[in-house]
Amino acid sequence: MKTIILLARHGETEWNLEHRLQGHKNSPLTNTGRQQAELLRNSLGDHTICAIYTSPLGRAVETATIVAGQFGLDPVARDGIREINLGPWEGKTRAETEASYPEAYQKFWCDQENFCLEGAEDYHHLEKRVVDEIEKLFRENNGKTVLVVSHWIAIKTIVAHYLGLGLNGIDQVEDLPNGQFVTLENSDGVVIL
């Protein structure tokens, strides 16, 4: 039996425009971000969505809520699909972060296996957390199609895992634009994209 997760990225936020790292902090969706959520909703019209799950962070919840109206569903928050915790980097611009933490910054983008920053989550923990949650959602929704609204780095980590790329393959995964989704299809325990 086939189980499908439509894994979507939240709409554009104010901090996306400012090139600020959000992590567990939040900034509101822009008007464009709300329009992206509406376009996401419209693009799902051919799917029979049985449930909508979202990260508990406001930008994902707002995106999921905009989408949910069409399906008569209430989004269910799942902490496991929250974005990576970036600790002291959250709210800072990429340029500020690179200037203050040049070695860690380089590892964050290009050597995820060895990224380590005090007060932040490493990629090993992130991968375990998000993949465990996706596996739970597959089990809980056997034979159904569900929407999962998550975040940029969390999604790249999930995709890299199921493509068998490992942590240092995350940078090979194409960035998913705001308000777009990728399909994960589980048939008899084998997940394909």
The answer to whether 79 touches 137, Cβ cutoff 8 Å, is no
Neighbours of 175 (CB within 10 A): 12
- 24 catalytic? Reply is no
Nearest of 69, 75, 53 to residue 151 by alpha carbon: 53
Q: Which of 10, 90, 121, 161 is catalytic?
A: 10
Neighbours of 167 (CB within 10 A): 19
- 47 catalytic? Reply is no
C-alpha angle with apex 112: 110 to 115, nearest 5 degrees?
Answer: 105
Strand (E) positions, 78-157?
Answer: 145-150
Q: Which of 83, 90, 121, 133 is catalytic?
A: 83
Q: Give the residue numbers marked as catalytic.
A: 10, 83
